[in-house]
Chain A
Amino acid sequence: MTKRRSLFVLALVIAMGVLPLVAQQQQADRVKAIGGKFLCMCGCSQVLTQCNHVGCTMSAGMLKELGQWVNRGDSEATITQAFVQQFGTTVYAEPPKTGFSLIAWAMPVIYFVAGAALVLFVISRWRKRPQAAGVDAAAPVTAAGVKISQEAMERGRAQAARETED
């Protein structure tokens, strides 16, 4: 047997040993990824792959089914359809990004955008509000009678406030 041939045989033997392990790992990862998109139907509100609390009557069976479908090479869409047929739409771990469920995804973004717009509006309104009468009536004067510029006074105030307030 030539050296090249013996290397080829060795590689083949290694590949035969390793490939099933790799495939097994890939399938396990796929089960984990797909299972993470569904809830366990025992009522615990946990993601299927995370639900293992003692006494759970559902997660083991659901994971077994999922494993069988993944081994069979079913697509994610097919598996999703099978679970939805079996348990209804409550099996989704998160609302689908279609139809009425889209509102669930849109709402936080709308809250944030509307809230941010409101905050910016409030800030701009407060900035335009005139200062209270008397505040700028006269330049501040120290006890020694020295006039201080408004800017320096503001800087001093800001520093004092920062160092002494919450």
Chain B
Amino acid sequence: MDVFGSFTLLLAFVCAVYAFVGGIAAIITRHPLLVKSTRQAGIATCVLIFIGTFSLEYLLFSDNFSQAYVVSHSNRDLSAFYKIAALWSGQEGSLLFWSFLLAVYVISVLIAYRHKNGELMPYVGVILAGVQIFFLTLNNFVESPFKTLANVSASGVLEPFVRMDGNGLNPLLQYPEMVIHPPNLYSGYTGFTIPFAFALAALLARYPGEKWIHLTRKWTMIAWCFQSIGILLGAHWAYAVLGWGGYWGWDPVENASLLPWLTGTAFLHSVMMQEKRGMMKVWNVWLVFSTFLLCILGTFLTRSGVVSSVHAFANSQIGPWFVSFMLLTLVVCFVAYVKNHDYLKSENQLDSMISRESSFLFNNLLFLVACIAVLSGTLFPVFTEWFTPSRISVGAPFFNKIMIPIGLAILFLTGVGPLLAWRKTSTDSLKRNFTWPLVAGALSAVLAYILDYRNAFSLVCLSLCGFVFWTIVMEFYRGAKVIAARSGMSMMMSAHELAMRNTRRYGGYVVHFGMVLIFIGLAGAAFNTDVQKTMNLGDSMKLGPYTLVLQSADTKPEKNYTAERMIVEVLKGNKQLMMLYPEKRAFQGRDQANGTMVAIYSTLREDVYVVFAGMDPDTNLPVIHAFLNPLVKCIWLGGVWVVMGTLLALMPNRRAALVIAGATQPAASPVAPALTPSVTLRESHD
């Protein structure tokens, strides 16, 4: 099976090269058969990558310990669930997984648009094949996952050998979220290849209008959604597994995942400027290019060992390959831009400084500044090594100081944007729109103060959350009121109808609401407290309003590990709330490999987060480290709303009866009066 897997990847590489070279020939000659055959080659590449990936999974599931990858990342007792995750737990497998996910996107695009956009698709096919060639080069010639173990015999001949068992999966990865976090994050990274391919193709082909944006908008949202889920799941994994009481440590690998998310978010906003007003075309194209390049950069940072991180893969020699690919991509983008920049000329002018357009410009500025600040902070240790004799670390305190003000400014604009009209906002409108949200913001600050959240940044953050929340409520209320008045439906049903009529707009507001919840959660971090105590059985510790009592300890043998558990009772006053079981796990297969399992009692107001931090070397008694983390749950709930909002935005609009300007309005249908809009609707692009 290893030879078969290796062969399919090699064949995939050949097909990708054909799709690339043949595609260029097809663009030049415009020969229909050549166009068709290169598209088929693109599809064949993807199918072969699927087969190669399944071959590696088969080797993992069949415990084939003649394979170096299987030995390094699996063992006999590893559950099937984690044998799936072993695919992306190592350098070679995760690169193959990259190719796999990219192939899923590529085959979807090639099939979905096989009869559409005949002018553009050959270019798209060539660009996608180019990206696939790069990853298949790594899969085949640099970091092949199909390497057979061999020993040098006494006669000097290489002889294959089979190990009895493997080393097992890294204990940190043996957690359910680790099975879904990397696929989501990688789906985000790989997904941004599609808008990149369409943007570059449109530029190269000088494809008319904003059609490439309409074609790729959903792909961008899908990639963004996956990236968001991946980041949040990663944060939750760090919170629940690493046992340090936090969820975001500004680690280089965490930062690497945030960079394309920031530019991707900026693009999702600025793209509206191009759709509605024909503006910011150059900016949008470069945002897409940057997002893709940052995805590659993130992958490079994670794998090259250029920055140190607990999340990084083992150091390898693939760094120069990534740097070369990034430089080549940058050169291609730059040449394409220089040759065709006149095609990107903006059509419209700006009427007023106080307009939706301006808010988008500042929104984009802040996202970009955030991105560059995180990037330069992440790479600063490398720069210091180049220019000074010592290396300087850049840790969480630096990023917090830089990013909190930027984050608050972005939150402010999240509320301001929807209150401003396109083109120009009158003073009356400003007064009318801003009064109640500002009142809500002020009341939120007072409420936060009363509830004892007395920290300057947190108060500002919670106040802005109130402000943004009220703008969202107002947007729904105003629209729903019109529909309710015309249809007689309840406000709730009207709000639902409203959202379904313009899913993208109201889906966006739901995403904003999710972000408000996330910011509320982040504001709570200023009030985290913790206590660490060496405890005997029956001892207790105070943690805010809670009392933790160490009731007993036991050992729980499992198939792949043995857990040492502390049984901790949580009381509030005299009321028993629940039992928590923080544990340490000793995994088989890896020498002295330990993992931890945090126990959390979570409420909307706060988390009681208990870690069994090991045995005190002096007393040989268990050390319990307990944290009281306010508002953390809001972050995870916010993530759910972000996903729901994105899914809503991805849905097609429910068509209201369009009243075309100048046309005779038909008599209102007695069956569906609610579907007659109050104003002339512009047809959406869906």
Give the interface of A toward B (CB within 8 A). Answer: 36-37, 39, 43-47, 50-55, 88-96, 99-101, 103-105, 107-108, 111-112, 115-116, 118-119, 122-123, 126-127, 129-132, 143, 154-155, 157-166
Question: Which B positions have Cβ atoms within 8 angstroms of A?
Answer: 242-246, 249-252, 272, 276, 279, 308-310, 346-353, 356, 358, 361-362, 365, 368-369, 372-373, 376-377, 380-381, 383-384, 387-388, 390-398, 401-402, 406, 421-426, 429, 478-479, 502, 504-505, 508, 532, 584, 594-596, 611, 613-614, 625, 662, 679-682
Q: Are B423 and A43 in contact (CB-based, < 8 A)?
A: no
Task: Give 10 A-B pairs besides A92-B392, A111-B369 with Cβ atoms closer than 8 angstroms.
Answer: A52-B244, A52-B625, A54-B594, A89-B391, A90-B390, A104-B398, A119-B365, A123-B361, A131-B349, A161-B423
Indicate if the CB atoms of A115 and B505 lie closer than 8 Å: no
Contact B353 A127 (CB under 8 A): yes
Chain A residues near B347 (CB, 8 Å)? 132
List chain A residues, Cβ under 8 A from B383.
103
The 9 closest A-B pairs by CB, nearest first: A126-B350, A94-B398, A129-B349, A108-B373, A93-B395, A158-B421, A54-B596, A161-B422, A89-B390
Q: Are A50 and B245 in contact (CB under 8 A)?
A: yes
CB distance from B204 to the nearest CB of A (A): 26
Interface CB pairs A-B, < 8 A, 15: A45-B252, A50-B244, A52-B532, A53-B243, A53-B596, A54-B243, A94-B397, A101-B384, A104-B380, A119-B361, A127-B350, A158-B424, A162-B356, A165-B272, A166-B508
Give, as a whole number of angstroms, the nearest-CB distance from B268 to chain A.
10
Q: Please give, as numbers and ranges, the residues of chain A lying within 8 Å of B625 by CB-CB distance.
A: 52
Is A163 touching B395 in the complex (CB atoms < 8 A)? no
Asked if residues B249 and A164 are in contact (CB atoms below 8 Å), the reply is no
Q: Which residues of the other chain, B, contact A50 by a CB distance below 8 angstroms?
A: 244-246, 249, 396
A108 partner, pick from B251, B369, B479, beta carbons under 8 A: B369
Which residue from B244, B424, B611 sits with its C-beta under 8 Å from A154? B424
When chains A and B are docked, how far (Å) is the Cα of A104 from the Cα of B424? 38
- Which residue of chain B is the closest to A59 with respect to CB atoms? B244
Residues of B within 8 A of A103 (CB): 380, 383
A131 to B392 alpha-carbon distance, docked (Å): 52
Count, A-B residue pairs, CB within 8 A: 186
Known contacts A94-B397, A119-B362; is-contact A55 B594 (Cβ 8 Å): yes
Contacts of A129 in B (CB 8 A): 349-350
Question: Across the interface, do B249 and A45 meet the contact criterion of CB distance under 8 Å?
Answer: yes
In the bound complex, how far is the Cα of B319 from the Cα of A24, in angstroms?
A: 50
Contacting pair B373 A123 (CB below 8 A):
no
Query: Nearest-CB distance from B657 to chain A (Å)?
Result: 14
Q: How far is the CA of A44 from the CA of B244 in the complex (A)?
A: 11
Contact of A111 among B373, B397, B682 (CB under 8 A): B373
Q: How far is the CB of A32 from chain B (nearest CB, A)?
A: 10
Name which of B243, B365, B479 has the most chain A CB atoms within 10 A of its CB.
B365
Most buried by A among B384, B426, B625: B384
A90, A96, A159, A162 interface centre (most CB from chain B within 10 Å): A162
Known A45-B308, A166-B272; judge A88-B390 contact (CB<8 A). yes
**A10 vs chain B, min Cβ distance (A):** 27
Question: Considering the chains assembled together, what is the distance between the CA atoms of A80 and B335 in angstroms?
Answer: 50
Contact at B387–A100, with CB atoms within 8 Å? yes
Distance from A4 Cβ to chain B, minimum over Cβ atoms (Å) = 36
- Tell me the minimal C-beta distance from B686 to chain A in angstroms: 12
In whole angstroms, how far apart are the Cα atoms of A148 and B400 in the complex?
Answer: 53
Given the known inter-chain contacts A50-B245, A115-B365, A155-B426, please indicate yes or no for A93 contacting B398, CB distance below 8 A: yes
Question: Which residue, A51, A122, A132, A166, has most C-beta atoms of chain B within 10 A?
Answer: A166
Tell me whether A104 and B394 are in contact (CB under 8 A): yes
Contacts of A108 in B (CB 8 A): 369, 372-373, 376-377, 402, 406
Contact at B392–A166, with CB atoms within 8 Å?
no
Smallest CB gap from B242: residue in A: A53
Contact B422 A104 (CB under 8 A): no
Q: Is the CB of B614 within 8 A of A54?
A: yes
Q: Is A88's CB under 8 angstroms from B349's CB?
A: no
Q: How far is the CA of A155 from the CA of B352 in the complex (A)?
A: 13
CB distance from A132 to the nearest CB of B (A): 8
- By beta carbon, the residue of chain A nearest B350 is A126
Q: Complex formed: what's the CA distance from A90 to B391 in Å?
A: 6
